[in-house]
Amino acid sequence: MPKPLTDQDKRKQISVRGLAGVENVSDLKTNFNRHLHFTLVKDRNVATKRDYYFALANTVRDHLVGRWIRTQQHYYEKDPKRVYYLSLEFYMGRTLQNTMVNLALENACDEATYQLGLDMEELQDIEEDAGLGNGGLGRLAACFLDSMASLGLAAYGYGIRYEFGIFNQKIVNGWQVEEADDWLRYGNPWEKARPEYMRPVHFYGRVEHTPEGVKWVDTQVVLALPYDTPVPGYRNNVVNTMRLWSAKAPCDFNLKDFNVGGYIQAVLDRNLAENISRVLYPNDNFFEGKELRLKQEYFVVAATLQDIVRRFKSSKFGSTEVVRVDLSTLPDKVAIQLNDTHPAMAIPELMRILLDTEHQKWEKAWDICTRTCAYTNHTVLPEALERWPTDLLQNLLPRHLEIIYEINRRHLERIAKLYPGDHDRLRRMSLVEEGDQKKINMAHLCIVGSHAVNGVARIHSDILKATLFKDFYEVDPHKFQNKTNGITPRRWLVMCNPGLAEVIAERIGEDYIRDLDQLKKLLAFVDDDSLIHDIAKVKQENKLKFSAYLEEHYKVKINPNSMFDVQVKRIHEYKRQLLNCLHIITLYNREIQVAAPGYHTAKLIIRLITAIGEIVNHDTVVGDRLKGLPTSSTYIFSLPCLISLFRFLSFSLSQISTAGTEASGTGNMKFMLNGALTIGTMDGANVEMAEEAGEENLFIFGMRVDDVDAMDKSGYDAMDYYNRIPELKQAMDQIAGGFFSPDQHDLFKDIVNMLLHHDRFKVFADYEAYIKCQEKVSALYKNPKEWTKMVIHNIAGCGKFSSDRTISQYAREIWGMEPSLERIPAPDDPRQ
């Protein structure tokens, strides 16, 4: 059995980690000691690991800053069109290793820290996880920023600097317990506060219509303080900016009327204002109409649009001189991409600026707005679509509600001319939903106010055009596009799985890191015994590490020669973790015979998963032939753990959502790139993955979208499956009868009731197909050579799923920009 790589072996690795004298090791050591000294640690013998981490981070940051400044100089001198990516979530994760990879510093830093008697991986583990997102949407935004920089686009990410990010998850006595993610408690060496660009954001107040124009008066002001984080491109000297806003209360104490009670209340009021950037909302697939959330959404777009207009009006680096006064050319220099409906208030806010501040006529302002903004939809689930009550908007943002009403009036006038007498169509297409509580449909606002609307996988985009946005597509088919999601290979292969990255580079060179389509060259080696051996060796080494990791941290011993079947997903009914649970129970029963704080159901699913693990893992009859995780008292699954999961590579990924419910999925792409085989439905990006790798190289099962539609019309009867399939009935009876919860027999009654009587996602309908497909997986796993050949086909088919490809399409087809692989001059190169 192969042994894991030693530290000495790792230092011998070359190419993708950036050895070959890219940076001077002695200079890195000197800078490291200098930064350690700056942390007030005079004696290295008393320095903590955190002191060492900050010294290393600051040393690496030094190599960023010059490139960062040079990049911004380059943009101000060339005055290119700029794209602004607005997102309420940026799941950036850890920055240190990503920066070292993109600057070709990793091996030099590794050698420098080794010579200083330190362990690089230990220092990397010190870094806090910047978990400013819930999952796929926030992580996609982070991948996109990496690709924008790597493609030389003048791009900016704008969001909120949440004081507390996605909660840390613990499992205590089988139940999920959430802990606050205080990721800033030790400081963040990668960000820089920019108080000179602080902007006021207004709330509440009233609207006055005067002869001089419309005025929004008597407002409450919150200040938006920007923090900038550098985003390096891959070895092209480009460093873009992610600007996150933090809410601050204005310092306007009235000392003339000072009294102790008033002063204390003023301080408390400051805290209320600053709550806007205090915490990330924990659900991205369930809409809750809370005032604080609406404040967050307006806060980020109001501050960002002020910043965009300021930058548009100035030209040369560092200049505050206004050189553009006419905003009619804004769409030629500015593209704004709305990442889902969360930043939708950018549309009425831009209109407010153009109408009330810049005094444009409505028609001209609307033309500028629609040519500037574009909208990405991420879900078809009804509960995730934002609909804000008009009474909440009237109180919080009265001027914006007026503008939305006017947008809707003009929009419906147009529809009425196109479809005379079709009142039902007017109702369906209105931005204002009537009912017990009048609401604004934010998706409709985004479609009407944008020049482009895209889904994130071909099947998802087709569903939007055929169902959710069918009326809008019929009116403006030219607006609708598809942009299949992608992932950055720098983080999700080079960083996560350096052994596999090296094996690939040895066969086809390193250029695939910039151009993932080159992975197709691996098809020439699919029958090559040496490649088959090397990939199998890397995977086995990773499985050994993963097994050791699980035993150390979760006290569960697994056989590293077994197949690892994993499902890395947020807990949600449509992702159908319950189908996986039923499969585990079925396997367990066969073996015996042979031998997101989200909502209530999600937490109950987690409890069922842990309960199954408790029974399965302690059954001496089953032994080590079947193991279920998680089972420990503490289970934290943040981005570093996810990266670890790829590095300690699994073999099979379950992507088993009901066909037509998963917009795209990116976890499937990450596993595919790392050589895991997918068992999944024809949903989201799985459809295109099957096309690229060949459907015969994935394990596809279950209903297709047309089958689901037909079942919706004919009716889904879960009891029919329950009564007809003995193994399914046995599994459900065990859950319902307390087999997995002996201390509380009715613990899972809500899950049982939901599956039998209220299951929108039709788990039972795909049960038989899933079990049979899993049997095919197990059969192929017994033939390691054929399994590895299938792995090679999957890796070779990953080229399409690079975020570089996705961003290139956004740039050319939506933003009107041209990507470039050209390197800009490094800080120490002479300027042209």
Catalytic center residues: 378, 569-570, 575, 666, 670
* Inter-residue contact 472 to 464 (CB < 8 Å): no
Q: How far apart are CA 639 and CA 624, in angstroms?
A: 28
Here the tokens at position 339 are 């990442």
* Inter-residue contact 473 to 787 (CB < 8 Å): no
* Inter-residue contact 711 to 658 (CB < 8 Å): no
Q: At what angle do helices 686-693 and 784-796 cross, to 10 degrees?
A: 110
* Inter-residue contact 442 to 387 (CB < 8 Å): yes
Phi, psi of 336 (to 5 degrees): -115, 120
Residue 735 DSSP label: H
**One-letter identity of residue 181:** D
- Lookup result for tokens 């990010």: 165
- Lookup result for tokens 């995730």: 384
Radius of gyration of the chain (CA): 28
Contacts of 304 (CB under 8 A, 6+ apart): 84, 86, 158, 243, 245, 346
* Inter-residue contact 639 to 131 (CB < 8 Å): yes
The closest of 656, 657, 664, 286 to 455, measured between CA atoms, is 664
Please state the three-class secondary structure of 436-454 as a single string: CCCEEEHHHHHHHCCCCEE
Q: How far apart are CA 158 and CA 512, in angstroms?
A: 29
Write the burial class of residue 367 (CB in 10 Å: 0-12 exposed, 13-18 middle, 19+ buried). middle
Contacts of 599 (CB under 8 A, 6+ apart): 283, 286
DSSP assignment of 483-497, as one string? Answer: ----B-HIIIIIIT-
Q: 15 to each of 18, 28, 190, 503, 523, how far by Cα in Å?
A: 6, 19, 26, 11, 22
CA 678 to chain centre: 20
Name all contacts of 506-511 with Cβ < 8 Å and 24+ positions apart.
506/534, 507/531, 510/15, 510/16
Q: How far apart are CA 150 and CA 487, in angstroms?
A: 13
CA 21 to chain centre: 35
